[in-house]
Amino acid sequence: IAKEVAKLLEMKAQLAGDEVKHKFVLKTPKGTRDYGPKQMAIRERVFSAIITCFKRHGAEVIDTPVFELKETLTGKYGEDSKLIYDLKDQGGELLSLRYDLTVPFARYLAMNKITNIKRYHIAKVYRRDNPAMTRGRYREFYQCDFDIAGQFDPMIPDAECLKIVHEILSDLQLGDFLIKVNDRRILDGMFAVCGVPDSKFRTICSSVDKLDKIPWEEVRSEMVGEKGLSPEAADRIGEYVQLHGGLDLIERLLQDLKLSQNKLAKEGLEDMKLLFGYLTLFGITGKISFDLSLARGLDYYTGVIFEAVLQQQENDHVEEPVSVGSVAGGGRYDGLVGMFDPRGRKVPCVGVSIGIERIFSILEQRGEASEEKIRTTETQVLVASAQKKLLEERLKLISELWDAGIKAEVLYKKNPKLLNQLQYCEDTGIPLVAIVGEQELKEGVVKLRVVATREEVNVRRESLVEEIRMRTSQ
């Protein structure tokens, strides 16, 4: 009986094993993706353009852990807090994956008592949002942040952040773009003069933030229906949030009888005027729009806010330019560091975050459409042989090349066919082949073949490194 029981148990275990095997799905978690060599080639090109810009503006770089104490993130993101990934309680501290790079930056400043820094940080952040992967919206995605912390004269760092967005979007040649600018103080002042109660400012701000995705009528009904705002207040907001323009609009609102009476709104408008002055010096006002409908979802902004959107291309035969999505955003958050400081000491900050995943999506689609061949390695030369039994000679030669800093590969076969070795160069874009053979070894030379032209020359072994360097430096 014992034997039979053991047998049955074994069968059961096997069945369970089979079931597990059967149910196992080979995939990445929802909302995430792998990057293969081709995608990485695009990604590194974009990172390089962005980092070059950040360094051009004198930024240092920092890094922080991928998770923070849960309480570090608590109360920073308003309605979006539900999207934070928590780690399982496995004993010890309660942790959450970072939701952005701004809150960890503020924690870093407070913890190290830094009152003055210009830094960038490029890293992945995590949001349990509904993914829309074809449009570049993921649950794990990169943010590229540049921030300026410190007590400075008004609007100078803010203007530099907008200049940076302008430089990066111009460099990447993504097509026409527009940078919308507003100020939380103008929004709050506007809410006040429209008759929104103080306690509803943040939630009404969240509603306004949806105006780039849904029409005013729906936003209005959310304000009145869900959030209990009076229809009159909503209609007054409706009039303001339709406005966008430049210096002329700022001047007009400074004359607006209601708005100019509000202290916050007036401050915001005066600073907006100053900002537009600096942007004129930078020569970038052509792509900037002061837009009263821009609200930004996050709780921590206190001053200027902005968001860059790509415009539909002209050759898409659409009459009016339609925005196809946000690719950068940011603003001023003067209170965030103080929330972490035990004595509440404030460090004013302003920063920008480049939404790189949308940019990848666009460039990836463009790359697929153009069928341009992207090299995924930098190999300069393949060490090959035409005859058999030369593996040892190939290994000796490639070792010399590696030690001289040449990027070289060899096929991992004892006796590969020459044709296969040449085909490998064609497939991967390796420009040169160094061929060893009995005859060449005797003569102390290596046959160097140019893959594109099939030209072959014998090069003395001691000159080979120099010859490869010369032929692969453009």
**Is residue 377 close enough to count as binding a copy of itself by CB under 8 A?**
yes
Q: Which residue has the tokens 């040892």?
A: 392
Q: Which string of x and - marks every residue 312-351 that binds a copy of itself (by CB under 8 A)? A: ----------------------------x-x---------
CB of 195 to a copy of itself, least distance (A): 25
Q: Which amino acid is at 96?
A: S
DSSP for 136-151? TB-SEEEEEEEEEES-
Q: Return the residue of 8, 69, 318, 457 that touches a copy of itself, per CB under 8 A.
A: 69
**Is residue 378 close enough to count as binding a copy of itself by CB under 8 A?**
yes
CB of 66 to a copy of itself, least distance (A): 6
Is residue 296 annotated as involved in ligand binding?
A: yes
Q: Return the residue of 3, 5, 34, 173 that touches a copy of itself, per CB under 8 A.
A: 34
Is residue 147 annotated as involved in ligand binding?
A: yes
Q: Given the rule CB under 8 A, which of 1-9, 248-256, 301-309, 401-409 is the region that contacts a copy of itself?
A: 401-409
Q: Return the residue of 1, 3, 29, 213 that touches a copy of itself, per CB under 8 A.
A: 29
Report residue 30 CA to chain centroid gap. 19
Q: What is the sign of the dihedral through the CA atoms of 308, 312, 313 and 319?
A: negative
CB of 276 to a copy of itself, least distance (A): 13
Contact 327, 169 (CB under 8 A): yes
CB of 459 to a copy of itself, least distance (A): 20
Measured from the CB atom, the residue of 9 and 61 that comes closer to a copy of itself is 61
244-283 residues near a copy of itself, rule: CB under 8 A: 278, 281-283
Measured from the CB atom, the residue of 40 and 386 that comes closer to a copy of itself is 40
Closest CA to 448 of 440, 439, 457: 457
Contact 306, 160 (CB under 8 A): no
Q: Which string of x and - marks every residue 98-137 that binds a copy of itself (by CB under 8 A)? A: ---------xx-xxx----x-x----x-x-x---------
Residue 394 CA to residue 415 CA, distance in Å, equals: 11
**Is residue 156 close enough to count as binding a copy of itself by CB under 8 A?**
yes
**Is residue 470 close enough to count as binding a copy of itself by CB under 8 A?**
no
CB of 387 to a copy of itself, least distance (A): 16
- Those residues whose C-beta lies under 8 Å from the C-beta of residue 260, and which sit 6 or more positions away, are 253, 254, 266, 269
Is residue 333 annotated as involved in ligand binding?
A: no
Is 279 buried (19+), middle (13-18) or exposed (0-12) by CB count in 10 A? buried
Measured from the CB atom, the residue of 58 and 215 that comes closer to a copy of itself is 58
Q: Given the rule CB under 8 A, which of 26-34, 200-208, 226-234, 437-445 is the region that contacts a copy of itself?
A: 26-34
Tokens, residue 280: 């004129």
Closest CA to 137 of 368, 356, 369: 356
Is residue 102 annotated as involved in ligand binding?
A: yes
Q: Output the CA–CA distances (angstroms, integers) from residue 139 to 60, 67, 85, 298, 424, in the order listed.
A: 28, 15, 10, 17, 37
Q: Given the rule CB under 8 A, which of 21-29, 177-185, 302-310, 436-444 is the region that contacts a copy of itself?
A: 21-29
Q: Output the CA–CA distances (angstroms, integers) from residue 58 to 54, 148, 164, 279, in the order listed.
A: 7, 11, 12, 19
Q: What is the sign of the dihedral through the CA atoms of 167, 170, 172 and 177?
A: positive
38-57 residues near a copy of itself, rule: CB under 8 A: 40, 43-44, 55-57
425-444 residues near a copy of itself, rule: CB under 8 A: none
CB of 390 to a copy of itself, least distance (A): 12
Tokens, residue 416: 């590969």
- Sheet with 432-436, side-by-side order of all strands: 408-410, 381-385, 432-436, 445-450, 456-460
Closest CA to 353 of 316, 308, 297: 308
Residues touching a copy of itself: how many (CB under 8 A)? 91
Tokens, residue 2: 């014992």
192-211 residues near a copy of itself, rule: CB under 8 A: none
CB of 1 to a copy of itself, least distance (A): 25
**Is residue 373 close enough to count as binding a copy of itself by CB under 8 A?**
no
Is residue 100 annotated as involved in ligand binding?
A: yes
**Is residue 71 close enough to count as binding a copy of itself by CB under 8 A?**
yes
CB of 393 to a copy of itself, least distance (A): 9
Q: Return the residue of 389, 396, 417, 469 that touches a copy of itself, per CB under 8 A.
A: 396
CB of 5 to a copy of itself, least distance (A): 20
DSSP state of 375: P
Residue 337 CA to residue 109 CA, distance in Å, equals: 7
Q: Which amino acid is at 377?
A: T
DSSP state of 165: H
Annotated binding site for L-histidine: 100-102, 127, 143, 147, 296, 300-301
